[in-house]
Amino acid sequence: MAIVLESKKLVKTYGNLHAIRNVDLLFKDNIIYGLLGPNGAGKTTLMDMLSGGLFPSDGTIKVQEEVLKKGDTPKGMCYVREKNIHFPRLKVSEILRVASPFYENWDWAFTKELLQLFDVNPNKKISQLSRGAQSLVGNIIGLASRAPITLFDEPVLGLDVIMREQFYNVLLRDYADHPRTIILSTHLLDEISKIVEEIYILHTGSILLNESMEVIRSKAHIVSGKPAALKDFLSNKNILNIENYGNIEVASVFDEISDTEKRDSQKLDISIAGMSLQKLFTDLVEGVRKHD
Amino acid sequence: MKASFDEGQPIFQQIAEMIEDGILNGTYEEDGQIMSTTQFSNVYHINPATAVKGINLLVDNEILYKKRGLGMFVAPGAKAKILSKRRKTFYHDYVMKLLIEADKIHLTTEDIIDMINNGLKE
């Protein structure tokens, strides 16, 4: 698989503030990625740099194997910002007309379908739309552009659960028909855990974890049992967090647990369950905070 | 078919098991076509690559085969293969759990055998 977007030792500082510290990223073609992190982790700063809108303090970005220089607009990339209010007085239809020529794969039939699906009135001005509907206009551009690299920054912010589902559905459907690299930043982790193939977790400007969702699903466990038995069972495992509730302890574990070990656990009265992405994320971030 | 996936096990494995269940219960017949990866992706809201991985697992195990341009089909002998595999894991997956739980609540082997016999009569 070809690498379509990468960064090496990317740094962004504002005076003494280190917004992004030495971030290496690698995005391959035709994969959906999740860029996850708590508020203030640097997700938007990172996306601004990847799309050429913000120049890094240090490090390099390559788009389709070409180094991104200051002032360059990367080819074949569509970046849907979290705040899409640059032209509040334009109508939705005008925004779409302005945006479309930048993307060679733009599909007008799909655009119309999306307007109907998301119930967005093309004759309304951007400033008249709700926060959710503004997100949707950005999402329509991101989807209809069919750009080989599409970045969505918090695409479901302000959307109700039904609209979020619609967005994920149409994204997956269109991705199946027109594979491309899609990067979604979000803090709604469990919603996107089935949508994305690989994730980056960003925390205070650094990458905490880069892993495929399949590996995460096979490694992220909640293991509980009596303290002594648990300590023995987990002696060589990567434990993220352990909580004591008197006679029982509950551990978050990020490690493989073999079938044999699972069988043994039954005899030891140890229970093993899967851990959600949300819980893994919280424990990873909390673990780092404690060390700081 | 299940409506959601369990945490703690890769989704592609769960997709593969669902297809196997479909073959065992006759939803899919040998040489019959199964759902496409796009359909799996739509129905279960999963990344299409995940569905592809689940199906490929079964292709590797010769449970499914591909007809170019048409889709995925159930291989002849697939059912027998799945039966044999599942019978091998039945002891660990079901019987051992049963025995451990029985021991916890002080049921004897005879009690269990009685339950099984009575259960089969119902």
Q: How confident is the model at residue B2 (pLDDT cuts 50, 70, 90)?
A: low
Share of chain A above pLDDT 90, in %: 82
pLDDT at B1 over 60: no
Mean pLDDT, rounded, for A119-135: 92
Q: Which of B9, B45, B49 lies nearest to residue A217, judging by beta carbons?
A: B9
CATH architecture of B11-77: Orthogonal Bundle (1.10)
Min mean pLDDT across A133-137, A209-213, B4-8 is at: B4-8
CB contact under 8 Å between B45 and A218, yes or no, is no
Smallest Cβ–Cβ distance between B7 and the set A197, A266, A276 belongs to A276
Query: Which pLDDT band holds residue B38 (cuts at 50, 70, 90)?
Result: confident
Contact call for A197 and B37, based on CB within 8 A: no
Query: What helix, strand, coil percent values describe chain A, rounded to 5?
Result: 35, 30, 35
How far is residue A54's CA from residue A180's CA, in Å, rounded to a whole number?
Answer: 24
Give pLDDT, residue A121.
Answer: 95
Q: How far apart are CA A197 and CA B6, in angstroms?
A: 17
Domains, chain A: 3-204 (3.40.50.300), 216-291 (3.30.70)
pLDDT of residue A292: 65
What was the pLDDT predicted at A75? 86
Cα distance between residue A79 and residue A83, in whole Å:
11
In this complex, is the C-beta atom of A89 within 8 Å of any C-beta atom belonging to chain B? no
Is the full-model pTM beyond 0.90? no
Nearest CA-CA partner of B89 in B23, B34, B22, B17: B17
Domain ranges of chain B: 11-77, 79-120
> Regarding predicted confidence, which is higher, A267 or A32?
A32
Chain B contact present for A268, CB below 8 A: no
Asked if B48 and A172 come within 8 Å (Cβ–Cβ), the reply is: yes
Is pLDDT above 60 for A37?
yes
Contact of B10 with chain A, judged by CB distance below 8 Å, is answered with yes
Residue A178 sits at the chain B interface (C-beta within 8 Å)? no
Dihedral Cα A74, A94, A161, A77, nearest 10 deg: -10
